[in-house]
Structure 1
């Protein structure tokens, strides 16, 4: 099942969907892949192993519950919501991330993009989430990206 590669088609059919849950980015310093077991209870949406440690994207509520259960204090920073682009984009598509970033830059909205196999997901500050969706919906109304 191949994803779409044509940028115009991707932009016209992205159909951004805002998820209502609030997420946070966490890091587990000096972690190795085997350390993930201790954090599975957080039910991470994404885990990425960086040189400095594991980075996790998790529901804020899961971190609060984890801290209460383990009498610890995993630090919670800024909160994010994420937008899924419903169009099935190819991992080889060129320009989608740039177009989305440019559109959100116009609106002064920070964006953290995660490309998965079927869809792209954009994490934006929770306070800007509704504005971000409106900006992205402009693509479906014939407004061009500023690259």
Structure 2
């Protein structure tokens, strides 16, 4: 099934969902069971996981991040969704890290700004 590619539709129906647990970023030399994402880079493997998962693996977390999933099935080739999200969050002074899955986009924002980020993203649906 193909995802949605029309930016206006994506913004209108993206329905951001805030996950309850805090996430962290770490570098590991091995895969971490239960991680949300693991990205292999030349310098090492970046692991994104719930803070509790990282702690159980003995990995300290420097900062806590909130994971927001855009529940719309977006097409990987859709143009403008990441830019629109980045603009909305930047206007509020919120940093964002976007991870695209096959079905959904996930935005990680500073834990303490998660409410503001949700408001900014919901505001995109009102345009």
Would you say how many aligned residue pairs link Structure 1 and Structure 2?
127
CA distance in 2, matches of 1:62, 1:119: 22
- TM-score normalised to structure 1 length: 0.83
Q: State the match for 1:122 in structure 2.
A: 107
Q: State the match for 1:70 in structure 2.
A: none
1:135 aligns with 2:120: yes
1:106 aligns with 2:91: yes
Q: Deviations over 1:20-68 (max 9, x none)?
A: 111100002xx4xxx32xx33xx1110000000100001111222332x
- Please identify the structure whose Cα radius of gyration is greater: 1
Q: Deviations over 1:106-130 (max 9, x none)?
A: 0000000001011100000100011
Gaps of 5+ in 1: 68-73, 143-147
Q: State the match for 2:48 in structure 1.
A: 57
Q: 2:39 aligns with which of 48, 53, 58?
A: 48
CA distance in 2, matches of 1:24, 1:139: 26
Q: State the match for 2:23 in structure 1.
A: 23
Gaps of 5+ in 2: none
Which has the larger share of helix? 1
Which has the larger share of strand? 2
Question: 1:76: how far off?
Answer: 1.1
CA distance in 1, matches of 2:92, 2:73: 25
